[in-house]
Structure 1
Amino acid sequence: MTEQKSWNAFTVEREDNIAQVTLIGPSKGNAMGPDFWSELPEIFADLDADPEVRAIVIAGSGKHFSFGLDLPAMSGEFGAVLADKAQAGPRTKFHDMIKRMQSGINAVADCRKPVVAAVQGWCIGGGVDLITAADIRYASADAKFSIREVKVAIVADMGSLARLPAIIGDGHLRELALTGKDIDAARAEKIGLVNDVFEDADAVLAAARATAKEIALNPPLVVHGIKDVLDHTRSASVNDSLRYVAAWNAAFLPSQDLTEAITAVFQKRPPVFQGE
């Protein structure tokens, strides 16, 4: 494999018409901090424009795919709107930040090159947002999934609520999003969140690369056409959902409960929510 550029939150390797994008942190569990959100759209724009790349595998380094949003690293982004939440200026900047972050996940979903996700260990919050933007999802037997934003006083706004109805159905989505519960790989396969489950991290990555290779051997313009046609029927509803949740969160996310959630993370204790 060859790597063409150095990134802080990812490695990107290209070989035999396949690119592998690997989350590397730098935070524990490949948590998604500022570098993740700034680098992701640029990486996928580069891969989309690279004629040598015909399919993409996205994976996580180490024992886990991703712990999701890195709240400590991103707490500064929330600071202004929490400190002065009644004002339009901070809310507008917060809305702009949400849209910028959404653009990273959207870049994965909108990439003309099919994306295969290989998940091992934990895939939490933003990790689920990321894999819902992939075309195909595989998991190792030890994988666990959680739409956990509700547990930290956040309405998931990076794509899970928009894309999962077409993947797992409305009832399963509501159960996961409203409870924030964890599910294992077997349950994820049963409800359709993942296509297949493999023995371990090595096996799931090998399977993802094998599928990417199968795709890469097909005529690329036809592959692009298939993606375009499949995405056409749902793109309007996804885009509308993302716009709405960005506006909703800019208006209503700033709360004492969100402050409590961030404080609890730093203090390593369970949060106590008051609905304020």
Structure 2
Amino acid sequence: MGAAYESVTVDVKDHVAQVTLIGPGKGNAMGPAFWAEMPRVFAELDADPQVRAIVLAGSGKNFSYGLDLPAMGGALSEVMSPNASARARAEFHTRLLSMQGAINAVADCRTPTIASVHGWCIGGGVDLISAVDIRYASADAKFSVREVKLAIVADVGSLARLPLILSDGHLRELALTGKDIDAARAEKIGLVNDVFPDAEASLAAAHRTAAEIAANPPLTVRGIKDVLDQQRIDRVSASLRYVAAWNSAFLPSKDLGEAITAMFEKRRPDFTGE
């Protein structure tokens, strides 16, 4: 990899690439650099014939806190007003499609992807791991489809891809409550394939699986992934288009402003349904 990135590091060894989230937001939160760089990172890896598997991990104590709200506030401010103009909503829709593209780049990568999750994996972090092929976790991992608590319909991948990973009842429980679940629960409902004692063991397991994949004939591996992906492309694409339109129309609300204000003031929000 020739390029240097602000949101990730990329290391390649023995046909396996490791993409590590590094922020720069707290807890590897997903700010402007993440959304801009992910399509470039995965396009470059996908085009490299020497890379036969990709491991995705987080630096520090957590995988990702999800969307970096302080850094991305401008994207929401465009439509924060209930009286937002058609132009503001159209520009927000365009931005949202671009953000979806950052996660799509991972899902559409022809090279198999394996996530190793430790610590918190919140909101956008779940969007990201829903786009990979295989998910491992450390015992301390915690997951949350948190968007509902911010008066936001999750719109960059979770609601499109998790229905292909989880049973309907488990997904609705996570998405409608915004609750936190631990690694044991995540494994039980099928969100992760396996749980390991700590972050190092989870990452090592991801690399072992990546090495197994990399040892197989690369064109056959690519073919298997392509055939499996073909079964979900239309369904996922339709869901992403629909939620982008839905949020561009209905995201502006008093509850959204209240959720963000309450978060920064570290208090419980008071939602009114307006």
Cα distance in 1 for partners of 2:75, 2:234 equals 29
> Is 1:4 aligned to 2:2, yes or no?
yes
Q: Which residue of 1 aligns with 2:262?
A: 264
Cα distance in 2 for partners of 1:269, 1:59 equals 31
Q: Which residue of 2 aligns with 1:118?
A: 116
| Conservation of the 8 A alpha-carbon contact between 1:5 and 1:12 | no
1:84, CA displacement in angstroms? 6.6
Q: Which residue of 1 aligns with 2:248?
A: 250
Cα distance in 2 for partners of 1:80, 1:178 equals 26
> Is 1:66 aligned to 2:74, yes or no?
no
Taking only the aligned residue pairs, the percentage that are identical comes to 70
Q: Which residue of 2 aligns with 1:205?
A: 203
SS in 2 for 1:63: coil
> Is 1:240 aligned to 2:258, yes or no?
no
| TM-score, normalised with respect to structure 1 | 0.97
Cα root mean square deviation, aligned: 1.0
Cα distance in 2 for partners of 1:272, 1:8 equals 36
Q: Give the unaligned 5+ runs of structure 2.
A: none
| Conservation of the 8 A alpha-carbon contact between 2:79 and 2:251 | no
Cα distance in 1 for partners of 2:11, 2:83 equals 42
Cα distance in 2 for partners of 1:34, 1:260 equals 23
| TM-score, normalised with respect to structure 2 | 0.98
1:8, CA displacement in angstroms? 0.8
- Corresponding letter in the other structure for 1:192: G
Q: Give the unaligned 5+ runs of structure 1.
A: none
SS in 2 for 1:271: coil
> Is 1:227 aligned to 2:225, yes or no?
yes
SS in 2 for 1:53: coil
- Corresponding letter in the other structure for 1:184: D
Q: Which residue of 1 aligns with 2:100?
A: 102
SS in 2 for 1:21: strand
Cα distance in 2 for partners of 1:85, 1:21 equals 41
Q: Which residue of 2 aligns with 1:215?
A: 213
* Deviation >4 Å, runs of 4+: none
| Conservation of the 8 A alpha-carbon contact between 1:63 and 1:121 | yes
Cα distance in 2 for partners of 1:270, 1:41 equals 36
Q: Which residue of 2 aligns with 1:14?
A: 12
SS in 1 for 2:56: strand
Cα distance in 2 for partners of 1:85, 1:107 equals 33
Number of aligned residues: 274
| Conservation of the 8 A alpha-carbon contact between 1:117 and 1:136 | yes
Cα distance in 2 for partners of 1:238, 1:197 equals 27
Cα distance in 1 for partners of 2:61, 2:189 equals 24
